[in-house]
């Protein structure tokens, strides 16, 4: 593979920055989850905030602000039900709907009944406000500045209510809480102006509404069919329906607050790699964990370094599996990396066809670490955001079909969920037969080595599906209370 140039052709100045960049240089972040109590006040406050929102053209700002809405949130801002119902079904029903809950595997401890945010019992969420800054002091100042905007309104009436908030950060070494370099592999949006390996440059419509996707179709975008607000602010539907497109230059976010059981993770790795005399073997434990992830702690890919950690920090993402490792001898077929993006080795198809399929199920990941709780009772985890134009075909497909599935590859995997995030469906025939011994298979010659008794190392603590509007769409939302004028188009 080669690095290819990728000239800009999408409307970056109308796109919220978080879709195109992860703000790696801004180490700290803060999330507000809010409720709009009065639509007029909500629109007023949004109007004030829009100049502070960071477009994708700005990459050197000291802070960054991005805003996304839920289905009920858009209606709380005044969008009519008819218009809100033009959004795709997963977004409308949300992450905690019974079908979604089953598809995503949110059972037991991860049940939305127990969530801190976005769950079945908590406060309804209308919007998510994501802030970034470079230092702890700067995020604190910025957070308080935005809090003031949200919670005070000139009318003196109740403004926007913050129902949940949480801070996040990026470790200087780029590692997540289990100790592995994260956020290396991310697709590059075609037309975004960013470079990457050619196999990672994905049609814009997989991530940005209003552009052609990998099927050479426009992704399903919410149109305004019930005339309201200043329609002159919105572009026409790219599909020529004659309606205005609320979606263009926007996307969807699958947010998950994922607790990581770090001690349990490493205790498991150690227990499975003990020496015959019962002593622990730290090197073997790290090797097993790396096989489970698909990269060594420093980021070097297993497919290029199967036996030993090269001991360097690596962001190498220029590889496939079809030629280098078709049978998973180097990077196990069931590893987190390989399952969540099988690249050119999807099932038995040829590499070219495989890539064509996998490019339709990519996700832009924006993860930050969090730590909450009191000393001795800390909770560690990941504030995960998956950005995609089609929640069903991307985030849900990846979690349901690639991660939760016990047999994504029938020939070699029998009872193997994704070892990091996979949660098997209790209705799966294997579980119905009473086989609850989940395992992780490491393909090898002459025999496959099975790590039995795989446990769950993460718990879902919150989540929501959100729409990240374009800047034009945000401006449009502020006009929803205006008297209707005939659109001049
Ligand atoms: C606490 C939870 C999670 C942890 C600790 C974790 C950890 C990691 C690590 C260490 C990598 C390798 C770094 C990289 O290639 O960027 C990775 C890659 C990846 N993860 Fe996760 N992850 C988590 C949750 C998720 C979730 C919820 C999804 C999607 C539903 C996901 C999808 C992916 C994808 C698509 C890749 C890149 C695969 C590739 O392109 O080769 N991860 N993850």
Report yes or no on 131 lying in a domain: yes
pLDDT 10s digits, 286-306 = 999 999 999 999 999 999 999
Give the Cα separation of 298 and 175 in Å (integer): 8
295 touches ligand 1 (CB under 6 Å): yes
If you average pLDDT over every residue of the chain, what do you get? 95
Report yes or no on 368 lying in a domain: no
Confidence of residue 140 (pLDDT cuts 50, 70, 90): very high
How far is the CA of 247 from the CAs of 13, 191, 209, 218, in angstroms?
15, 18, 6, 11
Report yes or no on 138 lying in a domain: yes
Is 191:7 a contact under the CB 8 Å cutoff? yes
Report yes or no on 122 lying in a domain: yes
Give the Cα separation of 421 and 104 in Å (integer): 10
Q: Which atom, in ligand 1's list, is nearest to the CA of 337?
A: 38
Report yes or no on 162 lying in a domain: yes
Is 95:254 a contact under the CB 8 Å cutoff? yes
Q: In the prediction, which pLDDT does 424 show? A: 84
Report yes or no on 291 lying in a domain: no
Helix locations, 300-359, DSSP H = 336-340, 351-358
Give the Cα separation of 469 and 67 in Å (integer): 8
According to DSSP, the residues that pair with 367 across neighbouring strands are 384
Comparing CA positions, the residue from 224, 202, 251 lying closest to residue 83 is: 224
3-state secondary structure of 211: coil
Q: In the prediction, which pLDDT does 452 show? A: 95
Confidence of residue 486 (pLDDT cuts 50, 70, 90): low
pLDDT 10s digits, 109-135 = 999 999 999 999 989 999 999 999 999
Q: In the prediction, which pLDDT does 1 show? A: 55
How far, in Å, is the centroid of ligand 1 from the Cα of 129? 23
Confidence of residue 416 (pLDDT cuts 50, 70, 90): very high
Full domain range(s) for residue 8: 3-255+462-477
- Chain centroid, CA 393 distance in Å: 13
* Predicted confidence (pLDDT) at residue 414 exceeds the cutoff of 90: no
Handedness of CA 140, 142, 145, 151 (dihedral sign): negative
Percentage of the chain beyond pLDDT 90 is 88
pLDDT 10s digits, 38-69 = 999 999 999 999 999 999 999 889 999 999 99
* Residues contacting residue 207 through CB under 8 Å, at least 6 positions apart: 19, 187, 189, 251, 364, 387, 388, 389
How far, in Å, is the centroid of ligand 1 from the Cα of 336? 7
Report yes or no on 78 lying in a domain: yes
Q: Which atom, in ligand 1's list, is nearest to the CA of 457?
A: 1
Q: In the prediction, which pLDDT does 39 show? A: 96
Mutate to test the pocket of ligand 1, among 105, 173, 340, 405 (most ligand atoms within 8 A of CB): 340
How far, in Å, is the centroid of ligand 1 from the Cα of 212? 26
How far, in Å, is the centroid of ligand 1 from the Cα of 192? 22
Q: Whose CA is nearest to atom 24 of ligand 1?
A: 421
178 touches ligand 1 (CB under 6 Å): yes
pLDDT 10s digits, 353-363 = 999 999 999 99
When divided into structural domains, the chain yields a total of: 1
Report yes or no on 156 lying in a domain: yes
């Amino acid at each position: 593979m080669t690095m290819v140039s990728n000239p800009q052709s999408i409307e970056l100045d109308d796109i919220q920055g978080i879709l195109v960049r992860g703000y790696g240089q801004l180490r700290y972040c803060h999330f507000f989850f809010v409720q709009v109590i009065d639509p007029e006040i909500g629109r007023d406050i949004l109007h004030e905030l829009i100049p502070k929102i960071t477009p994708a053209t700005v990459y050197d700002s000291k802070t960054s602000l991005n805003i996304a809405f839920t289905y009920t949130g858009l209606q709380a801002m005044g969008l009519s039900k008819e218009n809100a119902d033009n959004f795709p079904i997963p977004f409308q029903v949300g992450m905690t709907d019974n079908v979604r809950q089953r598809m995503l595997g949110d059972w037991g401890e991860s049940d939305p009944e127990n969530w801190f945010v976005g769950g079945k019992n908590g406060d309804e969420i209308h919007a998510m406000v994501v802030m970034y800054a470079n230092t702890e002091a700067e995020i604190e100042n910025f957070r308080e500045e935005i809090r003031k905007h949200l919670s005070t309104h000139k009318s003196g009436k109740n403004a926007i209510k913050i129902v949940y908030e949480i801070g996040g950060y990026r470790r200087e070494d780029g590692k997540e809480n289990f100790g592995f370099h994260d956020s290396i592999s991310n697709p590059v949006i075609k037309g975004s102006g960013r470079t990457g390996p050619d196999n990672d440059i994905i049609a814009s419509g997989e991530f940005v509404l209003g552009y052609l996707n990998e099927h050479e179709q426009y992704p399903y975008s919410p149109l305004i069919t019930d005339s309201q607000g200043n329609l002159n602010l919105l572009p026409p539907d790219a599909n020529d329906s004659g309606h205005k497109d609320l979606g263009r230059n926007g996307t969807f976010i699958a947010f998950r607050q994922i607790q990581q059981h770090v001690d349990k993770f490493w205790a498991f790795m150690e227990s499975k790699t003990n020496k015959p005399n019962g002593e622990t073997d730290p090197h073997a434990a790290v090797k097993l964990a790396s096989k489970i992830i698909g990269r060594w702690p420093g980021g070097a890919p297993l497919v290029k370094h199967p036996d030993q950690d090269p001991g360097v920090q690596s962001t190498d993402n220029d590889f496939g599996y079809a030629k280098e490792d078709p049978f998973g001898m180097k990077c196990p077929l069931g590893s987190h990396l390989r399952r969540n993006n099988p690249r050119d080795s999807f099932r038995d198809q040829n590499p070219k066809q495989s890539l064509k399929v996998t490019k339709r199920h990519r996700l832009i990941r924006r993860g930050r670490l969090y730590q909450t709780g009191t000393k001795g009772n800390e909770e560690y985890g990941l504030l995960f955001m998956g950005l995609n134009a089609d929640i069903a075909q991307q985030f849900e497909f990846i979690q349901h079909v690639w991660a939760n599935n016990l047999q994504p590859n029938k020939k070699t995997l029998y009872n193997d969920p994704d070892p990091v995030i996979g949660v098997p469906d209790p209705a799966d025939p294997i579980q119905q037969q009473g086989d609850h011994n989940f395992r992780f298979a490491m393909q090898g010659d002459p025999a496959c080595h099975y790590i039995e008794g795989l446990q769950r190392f993460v718990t879902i603590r919150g989540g929501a599906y959100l729409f990240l509007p374009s800047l034009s769409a945000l401006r449009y939302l502020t006009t929803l209370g205006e008297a209707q004028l005939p659109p001049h188009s």
